[in-house]
Structure 1
Amino acid sequence: MTEDATLIQKTLRVPRSPGSPGDGRAVARQFDAALLQVGFKASGDLLRHVSGLSPAAAGALAGQAVAAVRELVADHVAHNPYFRDFPRGVPDTTEFWLECLRQAIGDAPPPPVVDLLRLPAYGRVQHSYEDLLAAHDDLVPSVKDRLTVLHLGGTADEEARSLYRELATSATPLREEDLVLLADLARLCVDDDQPDPVPVRENRAVLNAVRLAAGRPLVAVDTVTDVLRLACAASGGDVTLAAPTRFRSFRRAERRALMAALDAVVAANHAKLGDVTTHRGRWQRLGERLHPHEHDAFPHARDVFAVARGDREVRSFAGRVELAFAAGDVRGAVRLLSTAPGLLLRSLDRVLRSCAPDDVEDVVRIAGSVLGDVSGRVLCSVREHLVNRTAASAARVFVNKEGRGWVTPDERPGLDRAVVDRLTAAVDGELLRRLPAHDRLVVDPDVLTLALPLSDKAVADGFGVMPRGSVSALDGELLRFFVHWRQRERRTDFDLSALLLDDDFGFAGQVSWTDYGSGGAHYSGDLTEAPDGATEFIDVPLGTVTARYVVPQVNIFSGEGFADVAESVFGFMTRDLDQRGRPFEPSTVRTRSDLRGAGRVAVPLVFRRDDDGSWSAKWLHLYQRGATWGNRVEDNRMSVSVLVRSLVEHRSTTVGHVVELLRAKAGAGTTWTRGMVFTEPVTFIGVERPEGLPAGSTVITLATLRELVPR
């Protein structure tokens, strides 16, 4: 994918072409028609720009833009399910297996054990893609079909620099793919004025790794762990420090820069040495590369490695806090934590459960006094945690940075509601103080139920992908979700499945390769290898399906993992029952989400029927470890149902809550409806950017919701 295509997919803006002017009107008409085929339309500004280019330049720009958005909605491949007539004519599961066996052995007696994978007709498409197209009528257009506006941007250089600043200044951690993109953009912008602030330390490490390699001064290094992350980034390792890094050999100038940065941090605050013990082994390995004994000019930096070797004893801050808790000295622990406001707020649940009733008032007072000293992301995270702790829960869900989720019994008592209400009100007051006062605030109501993204790591890359905990309405009569994968080196079998749950999250059926139809839902057939790519679908008629919850799963039966295959995506479409069309119609795709998590079972979201009969989707972005071979929906239905229930019942901090605070500060606000016209710049918050906003408007969409998190 070219750099311009990446910019288009990330921003839904097409960079201006530097091509020669001319008459590109014919190309512009063809361009808009091609976009409509995949559910997009060009804005008026974009069409005028293409129309004013020479035919050659216009064609190049249009071809690149169409290719970019086709890939964005997974229309760059041929989706050919096993059953040519799907969703019509899907046979009974057992009858289909018997037919495959009859084709394989003829009149011979059947063997006592049958391996489906060895049957020639099983797991491999028996028709061409052209045969599939001939078997399906054209899609009947509907006003409910998706239509996403593609806008005109600045030059490619301007768009790249704008995206660099957006990613670098993000208030939330970025996903791995965006960290790679940030590094590429940082190389382009290495001599520009650098963004300030860069609040996320992982982002700082990526920026500084580029600056270290280029011999430029480092920026925003204020802890010893910042230097460790930088060394990991510069060695091609993990800046999150979740995985070990093999440090490379550093040039002398690089060693000096790293030692100087360490020296400055420790010289400013010797207490920072306490952080070294958390990663003692890494510091020892880094010391072997930096040769601290050669740097007499940086004595404070040499102390870092003395602590790592054990030659100098320094108790970590966390260690001192744990000793206080272990001794039952909760007041002492709170006094210590008050010097580290972020850690105090993240420890509030434990402190409130541990302290005496007479001390609660002091804890609330101290917590309130430090709210102004922590990041907005921590404030939002603590608020979300507290509002979910006013009642005891049977299960406690953990989700790590890689999206892997697991459940343990929750034996914690609920927190006092009055105390929680006081704390959350104080947090809201601090958030309100930090939020800007926007003039002419305009809000698309569809964005209000989305979760505020407190980390991009909880959101897969793709199109129309929403943060974990977000709820979005479904507007069609037929839900069709799909998985597409393409193996890299060895035979790989992904299995799309659906777990059907009742009102109380009990088992109500399944749809998978072992049961092609259940509860009104239907499966498109099992494909067991994907050298050129393979796609499986499940159809759910929303008016007749019997389940309350439909939980899509992607199980790796065999072969490469999600992060190892050449391509792996999940998505869903909605359409009306009478629209017909091919199994995959790009204009009906609501979302396309990459599957790249660490696990062998993916649970992207859950679809639920609400009390009024309407349907909505709640985003989960979960992975389970699973087995190394043979994962099936039957085997993980209990663990998945517990996970789903816990996260469906979890109350996320929503965009709607932030909008309420913004409206309180602005004193007013306008609810956006399609077709609205504005004559003055506005602040628009919505899922997508509408056409026709005045120049100078501030626009926050699904791709940039992180900007709503206060600094």
Structure 2
Amino acid sequence: MNRLAALLLDRRLVAPDLLATGPIPDLRGPVPASWQGLSRTVSVSEGLIALEADLLELGCALSAPLRRRLAELDAWELTIAGRHIVGAMRSKVGGHVDHVPLFRGFPESVPEDAFDFYVRRVFTVLLQEPEQPCVLCGKVATVHPVSPCAHLVCRACWDGSDFSACPICHRRIDPDDPFLLVSAPDAEDDTARDLVPHPRLRLLSLCEDPWAAAEKCVRELLSGQAALRPEDLESVAAFVDTCAPRSARWLPDVIPSREGKATALAALLARAPETLPDLLDRHVDTATDVLRLLNAAMDGDAGLRRARPIAARCPAGSAGRCWTA
């Protein structure tokens, strides 16, 4: 998977243009015998339903703009992007989830009852927690499943009275009865056991400009007044490293977190040392700043709180060029 796309996915930002290229990833998981050997032609719309059902089981939902963008992909592009999305969300949930991916067989096949399966999973989610993010506005509220497709919308965005189709998938609805009545699944229904790991769904959003999104992430992390958590420092290092040398222009003029500052500069020292002289003049003020940077550049603790073995990994000659500039 494209590294920038993976970093954005970790923040629930989906960049289809980056995800829909390259080899098809293997989406591991059991495939019931009843799903195998199907030779019928499968449409992109059917694949999207299977993808949505898989993501629901993992505690996620597609925003309306993201679903529309995925619907514009061809079957193979959706196969690649969809498998990347499911794989990434499954890794965030953890290995304890016994996930049976409906999307695994796409584009050759999907279960014939994928649509019913998706609707039943929506009911399971709503019975656990009726307040969910609206896929149109993103606000958490009491949402309602549109009939018959079960896409979740709040009444502030859509009440069904003036429309003849679902605002997300455009499937025709009955204006006199635009919402499904949520009911508990039968005890023998396999979906009854599919309690999602996060009762409140996490909304996946469309990322149309991955570079701008990456810049926003870096600036927000480095501009904050609070101390950065270890995972935040890892994100800073990953974004700056992946997007160098462009990321050298993303550092705010003032970086309150000295650990964050050292982490970002260390990533640039390794990947784009030619950008350092000006940045060092602006951001390195004290001998402690220098020590933090050197420690971070050698995979040590930028906070200087604990001693641990460090490994020199600065590019040959780069440190000397920076300090003498």
* TM-score, with structure 2 as normaliser: 0.53
1:39: how far off?
2.3
1:184 alignment partner, one of 238, 243, 252: 238
Mapped partners of 2:70, 2:212: distance in 1: 18
1:69: how far off?
1.6
Mapped partners of 2:55, 2:311: distance in 1: 47
Q: Which amino acid aligns with 1:17?
A: D
Write the deviation string for residues 648-695 of structure 1: whole angstroms up to 9, x where unpaired.
Answer: xxxxxxxxxxxxxxxxxxxxxxxxxxxxxxxxxxxxxxxxxxxxxxxx
Write the deviation string for residues 608-659 of structure 1: whole angstroms up to 9, x where unpaired.
Answer: xxxxxxxxxxxxxxxxxxxxxxxxxxxxxxxxxxxxxxxxxxxxxxxxxxxx
Q: Would you say 1:215 and 2:250 are equivalent positions?
A: no
Q: Which amino acid aligns with 1:190?
A: P
Matched ranges for 1:212-611 at <5 A: 212-213=269-270, 214-216=273-275, 217=277, 218=280, 219-244=282-307, 246=310, 248=312, 251-252=316-317, 254-255=319-320, 257-258=322-323
Gaps of 5+ in 2: 22-42, 100-187
Cα distance change, pair 191–39 in 1 and its aligned pair in 2 (3 A):
closer
Cα distance change, pair 76–64 in 1 and its aligned pair in 2 (3 A):
farther
1:186: how far off?
1.4
What is the aligned residue count? 202
Alignment correspondent of 1:174: 228
Are the equivalent residues in 2 in contact too, given 1:40–1:148 (CA < 8 A)?
yes
Cα distance change, pair 78–26 in 1 and its aligned pair in 2 (3 A):
closer
Cα distance change, pair 24–161 in 1 and its aligned pair in 2 (3 A):
farther
Residue identity (%): 30
Write the deviation string for residues 261-313 of structure 1: whole angstroms up to 9, x where unpaired.
Answer: xxxxxxxxxxxxxxxxxxxxxxxxxxxxxxxxxxxxxxxxxxxxxxxxxxxxx
Q: Which amino acid aligns with 1:191?
A: R
1:162 alignment partner, one of 198, 201, 216: 216
Matched ranges for 1:103-142 at <5 A: 138-139=191-192
Are the equivalent residues in 1 in contact too, given 2:57–2:194 (CA < 8 A)?
no
Instruction: Kindly name which structure, 1 or 2, has the bigger radius of gyration based on alpha carbons.
Output: 1
Cα distance change, pair 212–71 in 1 and its aligned pair in 2 (3 A):
closer
Are the equivalent residues in 1 in contact too, given 2:244–2:268 (CA < 8 A)?
no
Alignment correspondent of 2:251: 195
Mapped partners of 2:269, 2:203: distance in 1: 40
Mapped partners of 1:247, 1:137: distance in 2: 51
- 3-state SS in 2 of match to 1:179: helix
Mapped partners of 2:207, 2:69: distance in 1: 10
Mapped partners of 2:44, 2:221: distance in 1: 34
Alignment correspondent of 2:16: 16
Are the equivalent residues in 2 in contact too, given 1:16–1:155 (CA < 8 A)?
no
Write the deviation string for residues 438-469 of structure 1: whole angstroms up to 9, x where unpaired.
Answer: xxxxxxxxxxxxxxxxxxxxxxxxxxxxxxxx
1:76: how far off?
6.5
Gaps of 5+ in 1: 80-134, 261-711
Are the equivalent residues in 2 in contact too, given 1:70–1:76 (CA < 8 A)?
no
* TM-score, with structure 1 as normaliser: 0.26
1:61: how far off?
1.3
Mapped partners of 1:13, 1:230: distance in 2: 30
Mapped partners of 1:242, 1:24: distance in 2: 53
Write the deviation string for residues 48-71 of structure 1: whole angstroms up to 9, x where unpaired.
Answer: 111111111112111111222222
